Amino acid sequence: MCHRLLALLLPALLLSATPVYAGSEEKTVTLPIPPASLEEWYKPANKRQVWLHTMFRLRRSMQAVTQYSALEDRELLTKWAGKLVKDYNSIGDMVPEWRDELETEWAERLLAAAEALDKPVIERALFRLGKSCTGCHREYRAITAALYRTPDFSVVTVEDQETLEDMSYEDTMEGLSISLNRIVIALADQDIKAAKSARQKLVSRLDNLAGSCASCHKDEASREQILGNTNKGKLEKLGTLLEAGDIKESRHAVGDIAVSICARCHGTHRTLSDLREFIVKSE
Ligand code: HEC
Ligand code: HEC
Ligand code: HEC
């Protein structure tokens, strides 16, 4: 609550990382946090992603206005200019803190120019509106998506199929990392027995993890991409190579697993999750 209040009082509250490893020429990035009222237009506060859908419509309307202006189709031009201006003005209704930044006069001028099929004015109006789109996007688009549209793994649990205990994602990841590295260490030290038992542990930990995908993914396709038969086959292959005592090939197989299971999932989930957590904690 407290951070929301702060963001409301200081819409351009600057967020920056406190450098822990401060060098003499430390570079930092600052990102303004969007006004708190924006949250209302996103799930779960809203039933739909209202803000995002307004944005998609804006882009479509801009395109339609450009198109029908070129074709000099006055009827469709005024229709789409009307839609564009309605959605554009709704930005200020949804987030009053942003009202003053909008080019509302140019929006009105666009409507009049569309009626009159005055192409030079239409062009100038589109240019001014377009500049206000990119101006806001440059500052707020990425951070908004990170805040309101990234998965929150802190609320997802992973059930251990043996003990039936619920574990946090963080603890699960630590376990996975330990198992994977134990295999690599054992292979480096030519300890096949230790590598085999660590592989088994890794397989069961990944099975546990697979049970958690459904908390967010309604279909199985997403889970299958990372924890489906293809990658299960790679874990099996590692087992076979270890049985055969082939250390060199086993090392390649572990590397392959780390990329196609761990790194691929991290690419879509972890970076965004880290960023989101960082923002929420800094707010
Ligand atoms: C005052 C701020 C603001 C203004 C003005 C604004 N936008 Fe946006 N727009 C945003 C924010 C914030 C996002 C990020 C939303 C998200 O990712 O959930 C966004 C995202 C978008 C997206 C989605 C991008 C994507 O592919 O995911 C489109 C399209 C878009 N805006 C179009 C427009 C157009 C066209 C205009 C001007 C006519 C405009 N916006 C004006 C704030 C603004
Ligand atoms: C906290 C919610 C959450 C959990 C848990 C989760 N995901 Fe995702 N995942 C997402 C979101 C959000 C996206 C972004 C794309 C989207 O909207 O589908 C995504 C995207 C993906 C994608 C990219 C392509 C696609 O199919 O959409 C894959 C693959 C994927 N997830 C696999 C997994 C696997 C495997 C697990 C379980 C080990 C998992 N996810 C667990 C939220 C989650
Ligand atoms: C859902 C797909 C997914 C898969 C598959 C996955 N991870 Fe992760 N991993 C995540 C997410 C999400 C986070 C961030 C979780 C958090 O901090 O709450 C994470 C974080 C981590 C972390 C950092 C933990 C910390 O304390 O910051 C490590 C280490 C890690 N994963 C190792 C692995 C290894 C090793 C594998 C493969 C054997 C793996 N992960 C497979 C999603 C995945």
**Smallest CA separation from ligand 1 atom 7, residue:** 133
pLDDT of residue 280: 82
pLDDT, tens only, 22-43: 566 778 888 899 999 999 999 9
Q: From the CA of 270, which ligand is nearest?
A: 3
pTM exceeding the 0.85 threshold for the entire prediction: no
Our answer on whether the CB atom of 269 is closer than 6 Å to any ligand 2 atom is yes
Rounded to the nearest 5°, which phi and psi values hold at 181?
-70, -30
Query: Could you give the CA distance from residue 42 to residue 4 in angstroms, rounded to a whole number?
Result: 15
Measured in whole angstroms, how far is the alpha carbon of residue 11 from the centre of its chain? 22
Q: Output the pLDDT for position 15.
A: 46
Dmax over Cα atoms in the chain, in whole Å? 82
Q: Provide long-range contacts, Cβ within 8 A and 24+ apart, for 265-273.
A: 265/226, 269/151, 269/153, 272/146, 272/150, 272/151, 273/150, 273/151, 273/152, 273/153
Assess whether the C-beta atom of 266 lies below 6 angstroms from ligand 2.
no
Residue owning the nearest CA to atom 25 of ligand 3: 170
Instruction: Please tell me if the CB atom of residue 146 comes closer than 6 angstroms to any atom of ligand 2.
Output: no
Q: Would you state the pLDDT for residue 5?
A: 32
Supply the mean pLDDT for the chain. Answer: 91
pLDDT tens digits in sequence order for the chain, 283 residues long: 233 333 333 333 344 445 556 566 778 888 899 999 999 999 989 999 999 999 999 999 999 999 999 999 999 999 999 999 999 999 999 999 999 999 999 999 999 999 999 999 999 999 999 999 999 999 999 999 989 988 889 999 999 999 999 999 999 999 999 999 999 999 999 999 999 999 999 999 999 999 999 999 999 999 999 999 999 999 999 999 999 999 999 999 999 999 999 999 999 899 888 888 888 887 7
Q: What separation in Å is there between the alpha carbon of 3 and the centre of ligand 2?
A: 28
Instruction: Say if CB 151 and CB 144 are below 8 A apart.
Output: no
Q: Which residue has the tokens 């043996």?
A: 162
Q: Is the CB of 183 under 6 A from ligand 3?
A: no
The pLDDT assigned to 10 comes to 36
Q: What residue ranges define each of the domains in the chain, with the CATH number in brackets? A: 31-148 (1.20.120), 153-282 (1.20.120)
How far apart are the CA of 190 and the centre of ligand 1, in A? 55
Letter string b/e over residues 117-148, b meaning 16 or more CB atoms within 10 A of that residue's CB: ebeebbeebbeebeebbeebeeebeebbebbb
Q: Which residues line ligand 1 (CB under 6 A)?
A: 51-52, 55-56, 58-59, 62, 88, 91, 98, 101, 129, 132-133, 136-137, 140-141, 144-145, 148-149
177 Cβ inside 6 Å of ligand 3: yes
Q: Is the CB of 216 under 6 A from ligand 2?
A: yes
Token pair in block for residue 205:
């930990």
Structure tokens that stand for 41 in this block: 């237009």
Amino acid at 117: L
Over residues 14-24, the pLDDT tens digits come to 444 455 565 66
